[in-house]
Structure 1
């Protein structure tokens, strides 16, 4: 990651060096001057050293800053430099000093990277930084900039994994369609073979289409800002719609889809997204349950949280896999997932929908006993929901905008 440092911060550090070395003791009035009638004592209270101000500003900088000379003397450093292990015991870290020496040798800016490591029992993040000459000092001093880039590296690794996974997953149905199309062309005089291979091509095309649609949806959810214009949304309506969408699948798998009584509970949310998330959970439960077993959807709440649970009596998930089930394209049983038309993206979409609603999704599972997925969302208080609906009804009944009169 390139550490982006504003020209302003560079100027601040340069002024700190000059300020402490040259301006210490010079006093300047605060902005706006003194109040009328202020005496000498008040005047002393209203003035600060430039060096003190600039040094304080450097200490509060959000990135690590340090200044060293050719002799490895540490001239200045802020607290962030110590936090990121750039400076230890009033000395620059050896790896960073090697980069500083390279700057002195070449006369050019250099970059460095420190891998995540432990110090004093504390885990330190990975750090990226650069070394530049302090302006106006005839290359006598090197200024070190550095910052935590662990999140950037995590995102980059996730991006690489995502591209690799997508390429692999898309290649499978495309390859299958190519082989099936060739078989179809060679079976022109056999109606049964044409029907069989044509059906297989259609199934793979539908699977590919579903995967592309879910990839687009997942990309939108991951890149979205916090959801806005959320409205009180009925949990009962969400469950009704999700179970309606999955009823045909349940019937085809000989699964009894059971739902508890209506509750009147509400959450602040996007109804379409929440229905999609719950539908994915119910479909997942159906696909991994043996015929003749139930899938149960229930709802409950306490003062602050609404919970929707989807419980099945299927094959369950081993403990070592439970932490990964919400990852994109992760499948416990890849053969079974492909046989049921799964894309490996359904649970990832559930996780991001719930997170975008300030909620969490939890899993309980035991192999051969089944699984329970629980969506937890912030609850809308009854009086709050009533007030919101009342305001809307009042506005609709009035039907008048500002400055308008009924004719």
Structure 2
């Protein structure tokens, strides 16, 4: 075959190869385009497991973990790719019986921020595989403990004045012919009855506030009027204690809220400050605007509160000095009510205290708004000067 013939044959082969390659490429392109581009069912299931709020672990018939999410590791269900021994033994039983079981997987040892209570359901899948579905029930356990403590505390607190009144009534009957004794025991009965009435009133107020949402209907409330009414309520306490209260100048500040609840909260702060102050020591009230919140601060120069007690003083029935509370007639509910009043107004109550120096409780409530704009203070009368707060 001549050289020209070889050249012609080569050109034909190249042309044929190019044509075949073109059509093969088009065919492959069509196949690629027609191939589904979305996630598969397996992808979705895996994503569902990985993003679950519960701890999920899939276990094979030999007790090995074939799939688990990060939440399972956080709850301690899976550690170092190994299933918790309690869950593994339960999974073996589920694989044999085919019946789901509930088990307690609460961490045996406390390690940092581990949950306090973990409950899991172990269910059978197919071919001996099982799934462990664990949930953190720490909050429910804490709420139940709080409820039990509350019931126990209420029972104790109610039993004390009721029992005292019964004993005093017997003493009155025994001393019916002694006028002085009758008067003495009668005054004690009156004091215990007053304490009981205060306790019941505060329990009712607290039950209404606890768990309530932010107040749906808010009215414009004059902060200065709240301060004046709270001072009026504390008049008798002040007269008997010898403590004087100093206030800053009227501020003209306004908040959206419930005036009665705000007066109750401030009254509780005042009574608390007076109860823990020595006769003759000062207590002060100040008002100011700060970061969109109206702050009402009550400062005393009393015994102060140690750091370990500061986080707990807002708990129901918690008392730093139980002996002093008995003398002053405190119920241990006042600061809990303040906390819930502040929360229901979208605010908070803050505490600064130092033993031997005194304490400052600050009630922070969002300033009044009209059409989304903050209204810092009421409109003053012509020629009058409005203060926007005082130093805390």
Question: TM-score interval w.r.t. the shorter chain?
Answer: 0.7 to 0.9
- Structure 1: give runs of 5+ residues left out of the alignment: 1-38, 391-407
Task: Give matches, 1:345-384, under 5 Å.
Answer: 345-380=333-368, 384=373
Is structure 2 residue 241 aligned with structure 1 residue 250?
no
Match of 1:151 in 2: 139
Aligned with residue 60 of structure 1, among 48, 51, 69: 51
Superposed CA deviations along residues 187-244 of structure 1, whole A, max 9, x for unmatched, are: 2222222222122112112211211221222222222123222234222122121111
Match of 1:317 in 2: 305
TM-score after normalising by structure 1: 0.77
Q: Match of 1:352, SS? A: helix
Match of 1:124 in 2: 114
1:107 Cα shift? 4.9
Flag as ranges the 4+ runs of structure 1 deviating above 6 A.
Answer: 39-42
Is structure 2 residue 86 aligned with structure 1 residue 98?
no
1:350 Cα shift? 1.0
Aligned equivalents of 1:294, 1:149: Cα separation in 2: 47
1:76 Cα shift? 3.2
Q: Match of 1:85, SS? A: coil
Bigger CA radius of gyration = 2
Match of 1:226 in 2: 214
Residues 116 and 153 of structure 1: is their aligned pair in 2 closer, same or farther, counting only changes over 3 Å? farther
Residues 274 and 44 of structure 1: is their aligned pair in 2 closer, same or farther, counting only changes over 3 Å? farther
Task: Give matches, 1:159-174, under 5 Å.
Answer: 159-174=147-162
1:180 Cα shift? 0.7
Q: Match of 1:114, SS? A: coil
Aligned equivalents of 1:42, 1:237: Cα separation in 2: 74
1:282 Cα shift? 0.4
Aligned equivalents of 1:234, 1:41: Cα separation in 2: 72
Superposed CA deviations along residues 15-50 of structure 1, whole A, max 9, x for unmatched, are: xxxxxxxxxxxxxxxxxxxxxxxx976654564422
Match of 2:21 in 1: none
Residues 364 and 60 of structure 1: is their aligned pair in 2 closer, same or farther, counting only changes over 3 Å? closer
Match of 2:61 in 1: 70
1:168 Cα shift? 1.8
Match of 1:4 in 2: none
1:246 Cα shift? 1.0
